Amino acid sequence: MKIISASRVNERLTAGETLNIIDVREAAEVRSGRIPTSIHLPLGLLEFRMNELDKKKEYIVVCQSGGRSSQAVKFLDYQGFNVTTMDGGMLAWEGKVD
């Protein structure tokens, strides 16, 4: 499983890079703040909405602490997607939030 640090994600965003970030937390968690440009796709709906994703793109998956994003990455990787989990989740995030 590929892992990226929250600080590295923030560096890439700050440098102007366009990243495809999937937030797999529940709606109540997302309301407390999310990484700008991330899309909300709760873990429980991932199986049913993965058709909205493009296998040609790279995705960074985020949750609250890293557990659910790891589950999502394992699932999506098995389905043929290019996915990376953000280590530490939103608890490790120090960048901007929407």
User: Which residues are marked as active site?
Assistant: 63
For residues 22 and 39, is the Cβ–Cβ distance under 8 A?
Answer: yes
Q: Which amino acid is at 25?
A: R
Q: Dihedral through CA 42, CA 56, CA 84, CA 94, nearest 10?
A: -70
Residue 81, CB-side half-sphere exposure with 13 Å CA sphere? 24
**The residue count for the chain:** 98
